[in-house]
Structures are given as structure tokens and as C-alpha cells.
Amino acid sequence: MIGDVALAGGDLTLAYDGRTVVHDAGIELCAGQVVALVGPNGSGKSTLLRAIARLHAPQSGSVTLGAEKSDAFALKPKDFARRVTLLTQSRPTPGGVRVRDVVAYGRHPYRGRFGAGDPDGAAHVDKAMRLTGVDGMAERAVDELSGGELQRVWLATCLAQDTGVVLLDEPTTFLDLRYQIEILDIMRELADDHQVAVGVVLHDLDQAAAVADRVVLMHSGVVRATGRPAEVLTAELLSEIYGLRIDVVVGDDGHLHTRPVGRHTSRVVTA
């Protein structure tokens, strides 16, 4: 069930070194819903995600939280971190630190001085490790893990933060197929079972169509379309934005599938 707006960006203009890279963009994340941001490289999707996570200050526009539309930038860092968490594309790997201890980093917003004041912390850490399938490696050092294992540990760290909004920037990159699907499943479980608002940047259009309730399609820093996957991921619009022919079909499984067509890939996928 789709709930109230949990996090929103309105009319956001974003720049790097004085160069505008996102123009008047808007996005809404609702409880119980997965929103996927898609588009070519350099379209501004990761920058927009970082802006609503308060990691990129806008030149203009607003970022608001909840139905009360409170100013996200007015909150203290710990107060914001109790409501919104972000899995970035890359994080430094701490040497010699156990998986359990890294996942426990997610409890920082709930702790006082010297790590006190978080009686439910251990239970949230255990739950996050179970959800992401890293509980069996809890005592291993994170610098001994593979890239895919480490990605799941960082996701567990975000889930341990126990927020109503989870933002993920290309979480399936560098993962093999099994773990890509597991990450997508976790996103759906967060939305469907826990009423979390999920915002995710994805490159794979088929993954976006499969996991998202709504898709935000960006091009050259502009939101070109927002809506259900079938409304946004059309052959005409995708072909225009990506600069090559892209066929779109609905397979026997009922899912939307995209097929970029090059000089040597002229056949259309039918399932």
C-alpha cells in the first residue's frame, strides 16, 4: 500500500563549480513505494539523489520531509539520519574491522557520547544482517570480503539505521546476477513489508521496470518523465534519450523488457 510522501525534492537546481547539472527537478518518495531514477550517464540522477540526501546543497529549490513538509536542511545531522539513509556508490573499506562492527556503524544516529543510549541497537544490527544475508560472516574482517559481499555489508549498515527512507545509488553495480536479484528483492521487501520509501539509481532499465512502482527518467539534467514503468519506459522516449533504437515489449511473464538494437543486434526480444 502506497503511503504519504516521506521525502521530496521540489524545483531543485544543482551545480558543480558554477556549472548547472540539474535543472528544476522534482521527485517524491512515498512510504511503501520504490522509485527508480534512470537515464544515460551524466543525466544527473545520482546528483539528484545526493541532493535529497542533503549531500549536495541546491542553488535553488527545496528538500522536505514527511507530510508536514519540514525543511530537511534545517534538521540536525543526527535527526535527519534517523529518517533518511543513503548507500553511496563507493565507501572506504576499514581495515581489520569485523562485519558486525561495520553494520553497527548504522546505529550512530541513536547513540550518545561514548556509544551509549541505544538499547535496541544489537537487535537492529542482527535484523539487518539477516535481511542482507551477511549474518554468516559477522565475525569476518571486511577487508577480506569480495566486492559483492562488501556491498551487501554496506547495505546492511544502511538498514541497521532503521529509517523510513532508504536511498541507494547504483546498488547492483559490480554484483553477480544472484546478488543483483537479492538486492532488488530486499528493496521490494522494504517497501511492501515495512512501508519504507525507497529511492534507487539504476542503469539497468529492465531491473527498474521489474522493481519500481514509479520511474523518474532523466536526460541532460532534466526530468523528462515520471510515472509507472509502462508509461515512462516507452520505445519512442528511450530511443530519443539514449540515442539509439530501443525496442520495448511485454513478455509472457507480464514484465516489460527493453532491447537496445545495434548493427549486429537487430532481433527484438519477445519474452
Position 236 pLDDT exceeds 70: yes
Residues 6+ apart with CB under 8 A from 82: 109, 110, 161, 162, 163
**pLDDT confidence of residue 197:** 97
**pLDDT confidence of residue 118:** 82
Which of 161, 188, 217 is the endpoint of a domain?
161
Residues 14 and 62 grouped into a single domain = yes
List pLDDT tens digits, range 94-129. 888 999 999 999 999 998 765 667 888 999 999 999
Q: Is residue 88 part of a domain?
A: no
**pLDDT confidence of residue 265:** 67
Query: What would the mean pLDDT of 74-78 be, rounded to a whole number?
Result: 94
Q: Is residue 51 part of a domain?
A: yes
For residues 208 and 235, is the Cβ–Cβ distance under 8 A? no
List pLDDT tens digits, range 132-142. 989 999 999 99
Percentage of residues of the chain with pLDDT beyond 70:
96
Give me the sign of the Cα torsion angle 126, 163, 194, 46. negative
Percentage of residues of the chain with pLDDT beyond 90:
76
**pLDDT confidence of residue 267:** 56
Cell matching residue 139 = 565475525
**pLDDT confidence of residue 114:** 59
Q: Is residue 136 part of a domain?
A: yes
Among residues 39, 42, 38, which one has the least CA distance to residue 19? 42
Residues 105 and 217 grouped into a single domain = no
Q: Is residue 168 part of a domain?
A: yes
Residues 48 and 174 grouped into a single domain = yes
Among residues 156, 153, 132, which one has the least CA distance to residue 144? 153
Residues 203 and 269 grouped into a single domain = no
Residues 146 and 259 grouped into a single domain = no
Position 30 pLDDT exceeds 90: yes
Position 250 pLDDT exceeds 80: yes
Residues 248 and 227 grouped into a single domain = no
Q: Is residue 8 part of a domain?
A: yes
**pLDDT confidence of residue 127:** 94
Residues 97 and 37 grouped into a single domain = no
Residues 37 and 79 grouped into a single domain = yes
Pairing state between β 165-169 and 84-87: parallel
Cell matching residue 85 = 539513509
Band of the pLDDT at 271, cuts 50, 70, 90?
Answer: very low
Residues 45 and 122 grouped into a single domain = no
How many domains does one find in the chain? 3
Residues 220 and 121 grouped into a single domain = no
Long-range contacts of 70-74 (CB under 8 A, 24+ apart): 72/7
Position 270 pLDDT exceeds 90: no
Q: In the predicted model, what is the mean pLDDT of the chain? A: 91
Residues 23 and 123 grouped into a single domain = no
d(CA 223, CA 209): 17
Position 266 pLDDT exceeds 70: no
DSSP, collapsed to helix, strand or coil, labels residue 97 as coil
Q: Is residue 251 part of a domain?
A: yes
Q: Is residue 69 part of a domain?
A: yes
Query: What would the mean pLDDT of 142-159 be, rounded to a whole number?
Result: 91
Q: Is residue 173 part of a domain?
A: yes
Residues 38 and 67 grouped into a single domain = yes
Which of 161, 188, 206 is the endpoint of a domain?
161
**pLDDT confidence of residue 115:** 60
d(CA 171, CA 49): 13
Cell matching residue 18 = 558554477
Which of 114, 136, 161 is the endpoint of a domain?
161
Among residues 194, 147, 198, which one has the least CA distance to residue 175? 147
Instruction: Give the lowest-confidence range in 1-5, 175-179, 180-184, 189-193.
Output: 1-5
**pLDDT confidence of residue 35:** 98
Determine the structural domain holding residue 141 and report its residue range: 93-161
DSSP, collapsed to helix, strand or coil, labels residue 178 as helix
Structure-model confidence comparison of residues 135 and 2, the more confident one: 135
d(CA 101, CA 130): 15
108 exposure class (CB count in 10 Å sphere: 0-12, 13-18, 19+): middle
